[in-house]
Amino acid sequence: MEFKSLRLILAVAIIGMIFTVPADAGSTKGRFFITVTGKDGKPIADATVTLISKESSDKKYVVKTKDNGKATKIGVDPDMYDLKVEKEGYQFLEGQVKLRPGVNVKLEETLLTEKEWYEAEFEKLPQDVRDKAKASDALNAGLEAYQAGNIELAETKLKEAVTIKDDINYSAYLLLGQFASNRQDYENAAKYLEKAAELDIEEKHFADIRRL
């Protein structure tokens, strides 16, 4: 399963905490403070933070985090805002925040790298879905290695695929049977080819299996 395709079926989750602190009781504006860190707790600089009013898209505020991961916007019109935090190489965050007159709003947000986000969302999937994805990845890697002439790697990856999901694809067993036959390991070759025949339901490749 490719990384990008998987991402299309997964929802974006926001990780954050919101604090409201009294500011200037006489002020008609709000103050917005945000701290953006990575999964390791280190500050993330140059993250773009955007506030867009839900009432009017013309009311928009954009700030960037500094080296300490912090950004501030003073004098924000009271309103409900759509919030977006983003930086290249990271999975963006989206949410909502309400700015009130004379109130400081402080947020702490964690940005995950695209890989970290993918891994976290992947672990939420049912076990059978994860197994199929891992087996498919191993199968594809094995087929690519075979086409490149790297038989050792191909065999390793194909064995990994059928270990994770034993009914992944007849082609994995067909190649494993071929590899075993080539080194005169006929006992294992027969087992692999028998499984290949079992999975080749439409018998489209029966001749290839018989030949081996």
pLDDT tens digits for range 46-56? 999 999 999 98
pLDDT tens digits for range 122-179? 899 999 999 999 999 999 999 999 999 999 999 999 999 999 999 988 889 999 999 9
Q: Which residues of 66-75 are buried (b: 16+ CB within 10 A; e: fewer)?
A: eeebbbebee
Q: Which residues of 161-174 are buried (b: 16+ CB within 10 A; e: fewer)?
A: bbebbeebbbbbbb
